[in-house]
Amino acid sequence: MYLTPMQTLGMILAVAAGTQLTRWLPFLLFPENKEPPRVVTDLGRLLPAAMMGLLVVYCLKGVSWSAPPCGAPELSAILAVVLLHRWRGNVLLSIAGGTALYMLLVQAVF
How confident is the model at residue 19, as a pLDDT?
97
- Write 66-75 long-range contacts (CB < 8 A, 24+): 68/110, 69/110, 72/105, 72/110, 73/102, 73/105, 73/106, 73/109, 73/110, 74/102
Query: Per the confidence metrics, is the pTM higher than 0.75?
Result: no
SS3 84: helix
Is 3 a domain residue? no
Is 66 a domain residue? yes
Question: Which residue, 100, 93, 61, is CA-closest to 77?
Answer: 100
Position 87 pLDDT exceeds 90:
yes
Is 57 a domain residue? yes
Q: What is the pLDDT of residues 22-55, one digit of tens each?
A: 999 999 999 999 999 999 999 999 999 999 999 9
Using a 10 angstrom Cβ sphere, with 0-12 exposed, 13-18 middle and 19 or more buried, the burial of residue 98 is buried
| Alpha-carbon gap, residue 34 to 62, rounded angstroms | 45
Domain tally, the chain:
1
> Which residue type occupies 42?
D
Is 69 a domain residue? yes
How confident is the model at residue 105, as a pLDDT?
96
Give the residue numbers spanning the domain of 65: 52-109
Range 93-100 average pLDDT: 95
Is 78 a domain residue? yes
Position 1 pLDDT exceeds 90:
no
Using a 10 angstrom Cβ sphere, with 0-12 exposed, 13-18 middle and 19 or more buried, the burial of residue 38 is exposed
| Alpha-carbon gap, residue 88 to 25, rounded angstroms | 35
Is 25 a domain residue? no
Range 9-34 average pLDDT: 95
